[in-house]
Amino acid sequence: MDISSSAPIDPVKLERLADVAVKIGVRLQPGQDLIVTAPVAALSFTRRIVENAYKAGAGLVSVFYSDDEATLARYRHGSDSGFDRAEDWLYEGMAKAFGNGAARLAVRGDDPMLLSSQEQSKVARANRANSIAYRPALEKITGFDINWNIVAYPNSAWAKLMFPQDDETSAVRKLADAIFAASRVDTDDAVIAWDAHNGALRKRTEWLNGHAFSALHFKGPGTDLTVGLADTHKWNGGAETAKNGVICNPNIPTEEVFTTPHARRVDGHVSSTKPLSYQGSLIEDISVRFEGGQIVEAKASRGEEVLNKVLDTDAGARRLGEVALVPHSSPISQSGLLFYNTLFDENAASHIALGQCYSTCFVDGGRLSQDDIAAKGGNKSLIHIDWMIGSGKIDVDGLTANGTRIPVMRKGEWA
């Protein structure tokens, strides 16, 4: 059900969010086509996005909807062999559209626990098949060939998961308000607020790039991890310039600055500080050990089977494609909320990502071939999964090539 018609979601702030998604997020260009993916629960919000896109001069806006009930019908009644297949024709079409210059905007608002009670082997097989089919389109996104954005909308099931003591109307209202606050649209001029925020993140990336650290060392409860950084890596955060020259904000919200680890230079152990909600399953208390860049041991108190299936996706799934720094004082962290949604939870804590790296996190990354990126330590994989390792108890040091140790974070805050 499209909950905005029955729940008290502030229509002014919802319109601001749609406006920000188009003008700041994807920063759609006049005449540019746009591909939108969204759950049917976000129907009215998606219509606002489409309207704003056409007002901004969009060429053709194409919307593809997903539906929780249709997804569950597959798991309840679909043939077993069907879980090793995915819509490759759809993703090939999207990749072709991106190759022809289309932008991409994804609305997130699915039930985080939708598949938690389904057979996990089928979930893992379906995820793998989808990852393989999605690869042609994903490479255009992770390579920043195009301008793209992800934004969120409050699904009622998601709201009840976050606020189980509230009735549905109250829970949806609270989640909507939390999304608006995190997305910086609870102010009269959200576009100006985003410009200022992007400027602050830019100063952080300039400081980190100026030091050109060879590695980061994370130390705290359950964590003693050295993350080597890829050769000629570059720190990014906030607004990014895609290869087509468009400056976009890929994630709304965002509080992170991030770069590419060296896929073969990660050693030590690390524990998650927040649960990971992945494809309808919850993975809690992750604890892994790295040797030579590869995860050689992995445990979780919940969802361990799903975690191990993820790690077996391909050769790059056990290696890192991203490391990101987020202060413990970030607005999402200070809200005290667990969103069960990586788009938000990754912006509450420093994190690492298994799998595919971003070419934009290299100096002159747009000119590098896949072989060049691999030679510099960049990872390649069908997946890219962020999980949180930061907290108010984690220290981070930057290590220079000559062994000098420089404080970067102390107790989760910038040093």
Look over the chain and give the mean of its residue pLDDT values, rounded to a whole number.
Answer: 94
Max Cα distance, the chain (Å): 61
Q: Do residues 113 and 282 make contact, with C-beta atoms less than 8 angstroms apart?
A: yes
Picking from 9, 87, 75, 88, the residue whose alpha carbon sits closest to that of residue 43 is 9
pLDDT digits (tens, 9 = 90+) for 302-356: 999 889 999 999 999 999 999 999 999 999 999 999 999 989 999 999 999 999 9
Number of Cβ atoms within 10 Å of the Cβ of 217? 18
| Class of residue 148 by CB neighbours under 10 A (exposed 0-12, middle 13-18, buried 19+) | buried
Q: What is the mean pLDDT of residues 96-115?
A: 94
**Residue 133, pLDDT score:** 95
Mean predicted confidence (pLDDT) in 131-157: 93
**pLDDT level of residue 4 (50, 70, 90 thresholds):** very low
**What is the DSSP pairing of strand 61-66 with strand 34-39?**
parallel
The single-letter DSSP state of residue 392 is T
pLDDT for the residue 5: 44
pLDDT of res. 47: 98
Share of the chain above pLDDT 70, in %: 98
Q: Where are the domains of the chain?
A: 3-182, 213-234+256-414
Nearest to 233 by CA among 407, 98, 368: 368
Write down the pLDDT at residue 124.
85
Better-scored residue on pLDDT, 281 or 128: 128
**What architecture does CATH give domain 3-182?**
3-Layer(aba) Sandwich (3.40)
Nearest to residue 42, comparing CAs of 154, 128, 145?
154
Residue 1: predicted pLDDT: 45
22 band by pLDDT with thresholds 50, 70 and 90: very high
Q: With contact defined as beta carbons under 8 Å apart, do 396 and 217 qualify?
A: yes
Chain segment 347-397, per-residue pLDDT in tens: 999 999 999 999 889 999 888 999 999 999 999 998 999 999 999 999 999
Closest CA to 43 of 80, 13, 6, 82: 6
Amino acid at 375: A
What average pLDDT does the segment 247-263 reach? 96
pLDDT digits over 182-239, tens only?
A: 999 998 899 999 999 999 999 999 999 999 999 999 999 999 999 999 999 999 999 9
What is the rounded CA–CA span in Å between residue 101 and residue 153? 26
